[in-house]
Structure 1
Amino acid sequence: MVVKDIKYAIGVDIGGSHIAAAVVDVQYRKIIPETKVHSKLDSHEDAGIILRVWLECIKQSIKKSEGLPIGGVGISIPGPADYDKGIVHIQGVDKYDKLFAINMRHFLTNELAGLLLYPDNVFFINDAAGFLLGETWSQYLTEEKITAITLGTGIGSGFMKDGLLLSDDDTIPDHGELFNLPYQSKTVEDWISTRWFLHRYKEQCGYEAANVKEIADQAATDSNTRMIFEEFGSNLGTVLSPVLAKFGTDLLILGGNISKSYPLFKATFEEELGEVTPRIHFAKETENAAILGAVKNILAMNEMDFNKRNTAQFLMPVNREEKQLEGYDVFPSFEISEGTVSQGFESLARELSSYKKVCIDGYVGVDWDYLMGGLSEALRQLGVKNITYSIDAAYKDADVIDAMIAPFLGGDDPVFGRLYEGDLEDFFQRDKLESLVADDDCLSIVYGSGASLCNWDAKLVYVDIPKNEIQYRSRAGWVRNIGAQKSISAKPQYKRMFFVDWPVLNRHKQNLLSAIDFVVDGQFLNDISWCAGSTLRAALAEMSTHAFRARPWFEPGVWGGDWIKNNIDGLSDEVVNYAWSFELIVPENGIVISKKGVNLEVSFDFLMYNDHQAILGDAAKTFGTDFPIRFDFLDTFNGENLSLQCHPKPNFISEQFGEKFTQDETYYILDAADDANVYLGFKEGVNKDEFHQALVKSQQEGKEVEVEKYVQTHPAKKHDLFLIPHGTIHCSGINNLVLEISSTPYIYTFKMYDWMRLDLNGQPRPLNIERGMANLNFDCQGDVVEEEYISKQTVTAEGKGWKVVQLSTHPQHFYEVYRMEFNDQIHVEGNNQCHILSLVEGSKVEVVTGDRKMVVAYAETFVIPSNAGSYTINNLGSSIAKVVKSFVKPEVCNYES
């Protein structure tokens, strides 16, 4: 939401024993004095009591404004906290412990509904940062580099450069915080704080003081007391001198009650600062500055771009009218027989309203702020008071998590890491989990990835989200990895998701499946769909006995073409090309169930976790819950060649990346132009060292490689099959639509030459020459290529109007490929195997499994699970139908890996 016309807003300053709120006139950057309200509070009270004190203080200030249009509420509050989301992380500091993990933003947004022009315009800021922002804004301070220090109960700090607050910069301490830096065998706050003054005063004078002001009053006439301030000034200067020097501070703002005694420690403080002493500005009212800064933060947040998806692709509709499409369906769904699929927050809120505790777990990439805000508001509309707790507050510190997962991220490697072997519990701090205590006076909801680990006796909701939508949100900077405090750029984030987050969350999802009470589709931007866990499990069982399609998705790429654009309706035209279609890449595809037009998507993994035996049949023992085969399209029509590449040997992919089986591929040519070709295998007599040197020289000097000097090219025609077991040098040439029929691993491509081009973002694509050379099979050269790497097609069965053609695969492939050609109908025995199929010629067929029928259009991929048994395919078109099928070779089945 972008709100530009805010004339008045509430600013709030929260301290350890008080709260102050006032209306701010945005135009004049001033507090309206008659609206200022102070309330005392006990920070040791239960969460509900504390939140009610806050709420009442804000409401009183609004009431005193006498009808002014209040555009939002900004709150300055001490940390630690997730300020973007409004979640308290304070724990073990003897104040506000009962607020740990509570989403204050949801609470206040709901409770202040009807009192604000923009009800969701509630934002939080660190109290020291709020002080800095408010003082610079209200006093029109414009220096380039400004540091703010508050001296009170402890030491607060903030940094600003060119008008922007900094929290993550090489020139400032971590998170802009000084209090926890080491100093004289302790921390800075042990020496720069009220408690230091009180302790030092008792040590120096032999009796106790009530506060620092009492000590300051004595210092005017007592040299011993004055020495305490001189010592404080020396410590403060010693701490700040390197900090100010490194940042290059132009202006130092001092605030807090202790700063009022500056004349008593000025000399020793400035002596320690020496040449780095900047201009010093004293804030008259620290509290007022924090209130003003909280309001300025509202304005800043409203100027931010909150686009959550960086893609031109259409979002799947939550509700879809029944209609028969003529061609390829980009949003296929499976109409379930049992249960219902519901739409909207209100219906879910009604379902949950009768419970006292609810746990909402889910996948990385879910927009928890939107989801929980919508649910919390729907509950409020029903008159159900609720408090939401974020499980994120229970994560281990980010630097601890970073160190834990570093061995799995491949260092500087831009693409590859190693699959993380631990569990989701590894990311959480046990004592923090145990601090998540539900409020007995209302509905308590704990949410986030791993929420079920808090072990509440609660109803369990699981929120899933498709992998493509996760990546679109990642590219928009909207996703945080597990345990991360901020988002990172899309490519390193994908690597961390692929090798750490997804394996961890998949194991967690598998463990939860049988206990899920409700499941929610979290991909929609303005809605949700959901169903009961029992409905999901029944749907998965039903799908396991019938034909179904996974929900495909499509991506542009540097070599992409226009076949998909020209032949598949329902896709965005606002892309340069389409390079890939994820037809069936199980780790990144979802399945959509529907009832009466309402769609709900969950990951394909759920099918495997529910009953992998029913899906895979005889292959289940070998592959477990890993689906073994993938189908995807590579489109180079009027595009470019793929990169010259190979895939890793089995022991290499296992030892280096932690995968169970390798990326053996085939290229089935679904369509091709007359000049299409495929690069495959070496020419006779190619020298390994010479080829290696040519690749390295090209990379170092930017020179083209004469690829055809080393690599064979083969004409590509419709229905050809090229065999690409691991270690085979290969790539598709232009003007092909390749149906990759391959083993499931899909990112382990060692690009060795990329035709001297940049990616769609203008950056070089990473090459893996050395890994490629370590895996290349140089026996794949000369006549061997034609004999062993180009499939031979043999008719193995035929009858009236039909025949079955076997397309030979390489001995290294663990799967078979057949093509069924028929004029009217063909009946197929499943033989206790899962079949993966695609209509590669013909307009439309009807697939019959048991009592269900499914229409499949040209180029669509579909799955027949083992438990479906035999099936029939009827040709609905006017010309011959050709269907490719693949399944695991019988000799590979029933082998426990």
Structure 2
Amino acid sequence: MTYPSYRNYVREPVIKVAGTGPARSGTEVWAELDRAGRSRSDRPLIVVDCYPGVDLSDLRKVAERHLPDYQVIDVEDAAALPVAEIDAKIADNLTDDRVFGVLGRQTVDDFYDPDALRQVRDQVAGRTTPVVLVGWGALLVGADGGQPAGTGDAVVVLADMPRWEIQQRQRRGAPNWRCDNGAEDNLRKIKRGYFVEWRAADRHKKHRLFDAMDYLLDTTRLAEEAVLITRDSFQAGLTAAAAGPFRLVPFFDPGVWGGNWMSEVIGLPPSDTNYAWCFDGVPEEESLLLDVAGTIVEIPAIDLVLQRPVELLGERTYARFGAEFPIRFDFLDTMDGGNLSLQVHPLTDYIQETFGIPYTQDESYYLLDAEPDAKVYLGVRDDVEPADMMAALRRAEAGAEPFDAEKYINVFDVAKHDHVLIPAGTVHCSGRNSMVLEISATPYIFTFKMWDWGRLGLDGRPRPVHLDHAERNIQWDRRTDWVTQNLVDQVQRTGAGDGWVEERTGLHELEFIEVRRTWFTGPVEHDTAGTVLVLNLVEGAEAVIESPTGAFEPYLVHYAETFIVPASVGRFTVRPSEAAVGQELATLKAYVRGTERAPVGRPVHDTKEPGLS
């Protein structure tokens, strides 16, 4: 394999936050909180409300060490319900399945004993010494007079953490909130977080903490090294992100089918197992890095979605999805690796009825790179009888015989820059020797595996197969002719001008995401037209994103980097950087179909070609 010669991918993109006060770390964190508390009361009250996943024991010990005059009260120990009661409350959400549950509507209040909270509230109201309250839900304890602790004289700290960091800690043995399940299957830990804990925690932030907080504490580090910023700095960081192009902090994960493309091109650290995934465009999982007066602060990117939904998503996308980021970009690397699992995603009605998720995981494979033998499995063959195929899959699951995928599933040769469309209900699988940029809707765990080529996961266990779910969702009419006519080689030219060509590459009309590819050697003007855009530089070394009005500083992106352009940006220009002059570059742009106010992607040299966008 000949890899691209430009290898300049930035793994830690930073958003500069202008005009804000200093970030504080180490002993300065607690000195600042003490100062703020004593400026409000001679009996200071500090409330540190923690996202589930924060190491509360570590945080409590550090608070006790640095604030020896304070009584530190662990609200969780004092007032949370016993885990057995919590388990009973959420049993219907967790189900017995290893991967899938039902989306919970719980709030953090559901996990606390109101009488015990009242006792802690009375204790705080009658305090004779300074007090620190710590724990998820600490804000539920009222201050003097029974008022919420976020009002009056309390100093409120949001101790925040991204979901990806939580998952890394759980892999190392951390339990779920209040649980004794450190050694449990990680898929079950993720399930409890995805369907219950993280949902309740985000509601708590959205409806209480963001309004009440005075500070944000970056807890991605040990508590002794945590970084504190003011509410103003936090809000300024969100404002900066929503006002111009930005990138999330990507993360890379090994897998049983992983390849070596990302290691070579992106320059990842050595791993015993090849890297399989990269999430680079998933705010629910990833982080934002804020440069606050020279100190890097990591915050969950979901905070931007929850706090700036209209500026980020646009009015129409927000009206359709609420404060959720509906588009996902990620990498699937099988270069010199193995096939992905043969799989299918649920239909919208099924995912709503069965799992409580509002929209499904429609997706597509864009071939960022490919070897000559690269293939995609897609849709069932014309001569397949559903009962025969399901019987063969069940025999394979039982270990009786391998599943002969090519007997039942269409196989298509694919090459670099091909785009394969995969509406929900379509059987599919990316084969080995591909580097896929997956463009999809966001509910990312809803993959019904049907056949995993007889291999074990990295944990030494068979990866979960869900044939019953799969059988209820496979669209058996998506056979060879239909797939050929609808899902492969669907490129349509939509416009051209001096130094640019734009093409529509998908997605299928059953999917809500529109994708446009623009080849260019000079500047091209785009327009968000009131909806969020997600782009990737799929060809060329570097490009510069600029505002025609100077609304944001020129923004440099590199090959294979995903970047987000908020709806609030409006018109912007993409051009080759000085390092890429003379190259032909290409961007791939995705947005929610039907949410744009006007044609998206108006070029510098306008034409009157119909369909230009």
Q: Same fold (TM over 0.5)?
A: yes
Partner of 1:418: 102
Does the 8 Å contact 2:528/2:596 carry over to 1?
Answer: no
SS of the equivalent of 1:558 reads strand
Partner of 2:200: 504
Higher RCO (C-alpha 8 Å, min separation 6): 2
Partner of 1:69: none
For 1:822, the aligned partner's letter is F
Seen in structure 2, the aligned counterparts of structure 1 residues 784 and 893 have a Cα distance that, compared at 3 Å, is farther
Of 399, 404, 412, the match for 2:84: 399
Do residues 364 (structure 1) and 52 (structure 2) align? yes
Do residues 880 (structure 1) and 584 (structure 2) align? yes
How many angstroms does 1:535 deviate by?
1.6
Alpha-carbon distance between aligned partners in 1 of 2:198 and 2:246, rounded to the nearest angstrom = 24
Query: Pairwise mapping of residues 73-222 of structure 1 onto structure 2 (< 5 A)?
Result: none
Do residues 487 (structure 1) and 182 (structure 2) align? yes
Of 552, 576, 597, the match for 1:851: 552
Of 127, 130, 135, the match for 1:440: 127
For 1:550, the aligned partner's letter is L
How many angstroms does 1:581 deviate by?
0.1
For 1:806, the aligned partner's letter is R
Alpha-carbon distance between aligned partners in 2 of 1:427 and 1:841, rounded to the nearest angstrom = 50
Does the 8 Å contact 1:343/1:527 carry over to 2?
Answer: no
Aligned residues: 563
How many angstroms does 1:338 deviate by?
3.0
Do residues 338 (structure 1) and 54 (structure 2) align? no
Of 303, 326, 340, the match for 1:606: 303
Alpha-carbon distance between aligned partners in 2 of 1:416 and 1:474, rounded to the nearest angstrom = 18
Alpha-carbon distance between aligned partners in 1 of 2:366 and 2:271, rounded to the nearest angstrom = 28
How many angstroms does 1:427 deviate by?
0.3
Of 712, 720, 729, the match for 2:418: 720
Partner of 1:863: 564
Alpha-carbon distance between aligned partners in 1 of 2:156 and 2:289, rounded to the nearest angstrom = 21
Partner of 1:265: none
How many angstroms does 1:477 deviate by?
1.5
How many angstroms does 1:341 deviate by?
4.8
How many angstroms does 1:326 deviate by?
6.7
How many angstroms does 1:610 deviate by?
1.1
Alpha-carbon distance between aligned partners in 1 of 2:375 and 2:21, rounded to the nearest angstrom = 50
Does the 8 Å contact 1:466/1:589 carry over to 2?
Answer: yes
Do residues 471 (structure 1) and 471 (structure 2) align? no
Query: Pairwise mapping of residues 652-691 of structure 1 onto structure 2 (< 5 A)?
Result: 652-691=350-389
Seen in structure 2, the aligned counterparts of structure 1 residues 893 and 587 have a Cα distance that, compared at 3 Å, is farther
Do residues 348 (structure 1) and 49 (structure 2) align? no
Partner of 1:12: none
SS of the equivalent of 1:531 reads strand
Partner of 2:41: none
Seen in structure 2, the aligned counterparts of structure 1 residues 728 and 445 have a Cα distance that, compared at 3 Å, is same
How many angstroms does 1:486 deviate by?
5.2
For 1:447, the aligned partner's letter is V
Do residues 782 (structure 1) and 463 (structure 2) align? no
Alpha-carbon distance between aligned partners in 2 of 1:563 and 1:738, rounded to the nearest angstrom = 10
Alpha-carbon distance between aligned partners in 2 of 1:429 and 1:485, rounded to the nearest angstrom = 20
Does the 8 Å contact 1:679/1:713 carry over to 2?
Answer: yes
SS of the equivalent of 1:579 reads strand
Alpha-carbon distance between aligned partners in 2 of 1:763 and 1:684, rounded to the nearest angstrom = 34
How many angstroms does 1:523 deviate by?
0.7
For 2:136, the aligned partner's letter is S
Partner of 1:109: none
Seen in structure 2, the aligned counterparts of structure 1 residues 757 and 552 have a Cα distance that, compared at 3 Å, is same
SS of the equivalent of 1:796 reads strand
Partner of 1:738: 436
For 1:484, the aligned partner's letter is C
Partner of 2:510: 812
Does the 8 Å contact 1:806/1:818 carry over to 2?
Answer: yes
Seen in structure 2, the aligned counterparts of structure 1 residues 632 and 341 have a Cα distance that, compared at 3 Å, is farther
1:169-206, Cα deviation, whole Å (9 max, x unpaired): xxxxxxxxxxxxxxxxxxxxxxxxxxxxxxxxxxxxxx
Of 794, 802, 808, the match for 2:492: 794
Seen in structure 2, the aligned counterparts of structure 1 residues 800 and 514 have a Cα distance that, compared at 3 Å, is same
Partner of 2:40: none
SS of the equivalent of 2:194 reads helix
Between structure 1 and structure 2, the one with the greater Rg is: 1
For 2:545, the aligned partner's letter is V
Does the 8 Å contact 1:541/1:610 carry over to 2?
Answer: no
Do residues 373 (structure 1) and 61 (structure 2) align? yes
Partner of 2:341: 643
SS of the equivalent of 2:420 reads strand
Seen in structure 2, the aligned counterparts of structure 1 residues 326 and 810 have a Cα distance that, compared at 3 Å, is closer
For 1:417, the aligned partner's letter is G
1:506-526, Cα deviation, whole Å (9 max, x unpaired): 111111212211001101135
1:577-606, Cα deviation, whole Å (9 max, x unpaired): 101001112221121211243111211221
Do residues 634 (structure 1) and 332 (structure 2) align? yes
Does the 8 Å contact 2:342/2:452 carry over to 1?
Answer: yes
Seen in structure 2, the aligned counterparts of structure 1 residues 802 and 689 have a Cα distance that, compared at 3 Å, is same
Does the 8 Å contact 1:622/1:893 carry over to 2?
Answer: no
How many angstroms does 1:795 deviate by?
2.1
Partner of 1:239: none
Seen in structure 2, the aligned counterparts of structure 1 residues 420 and 373 have a Cα distance that, compared at 3 Å, is same
SS of the equivalent of 1:440 reads coil
Alpha-carbon distance between aligned partners in 1 of 2:22 and 2:380, rounded to the nearest angstrom = 54
How many angstroms does 1:488 deviate by?
4.7
SS of the equivalent of 1:549 reads coil
Alpha-carbon distance between aligned partners in 2 of 1:407 and 1:335, rounded to the nearest angstrom = 44
For 1:607, the aligned partner's letter is L
Partner of 2:272: 575
How many angstroms does 1:379 deviate by?
3.2
Of 1, 5, 10, the match for 1:329: 10
Partner of 2:607: none
Query: Pairwise mapping of residues 32-47 of structure 1 onto structure 2 (< 5 A)?
Result: none
Do residues 707 (structure 1) and 405 (structure 2) align? yes
Alpha-carbon distance between aligned partners in 1 of 2:7 and 2:383, rounded to the nearest angstrom = 51
Segments of 5+ residues of structure 2 without an aligned counterpart are 1-5, 38-43, 144-148, 599-613
How many angstroms does 1:711 deviate by?
0.5
Seen in structure 2, the aligned counterparts of structure 1 residues 606 and 341 have a Cα distance that, compared at 3 Å, is farther
How many angstroms does 1:871 deviate by?
1.0
Alpha-carbon distance between aligned partners in 2 of 1:766 and 1:542, rounded to the nearest angstrom = 42
How many angstroms does 1:836 deviate by?
0.2
For 2:571, the aligned partner's letter is S
Alpha-carbon distance between aligned partners in 1 of 2:597 and 2:458, rounded to the nearest angstrom = 42
Alpha-carbon distance between aligned partners in 1 of 2:468 and 2:597, rounded to the nearest angstrom = 34
Does the 8 Å contact 1:619/1:893 carry over to 2?
Answer: no
Does the 8 Å contact 1:477/1:488 carry over to 2?
Answer: yes
Of 430, 447, 454, the match for 1:756: 454
Alpha-carbon distance between aligned partners in 2 of 1:872 and 1:378, rounded to the nearest angstrom = 50
Partner of 2:610: none
SS of the equivalent of 2:225 reads coil
Of 498, 519, 523, the match for 2:216: 519
For 1:465, the aligned partner's letter is M
Comparing 773-782 with 468-477, which one deviates more in the overlay? Answer: 468-477
Does the 8 Å contact 1:338/1:539 carry over to 2?
Answer: no
Partner of 2:146: none
Alpha-carbon distance between aligned partners in 2 of 1:791 and 1:635, rounded to the nearest angstrom = 22
How many angstroms does 1:372 deviate by?
3.0
Alpha-carbon distance between aligned partners in 1 of 2:232 and 2:119, rounded to the nearest angstrom = 31
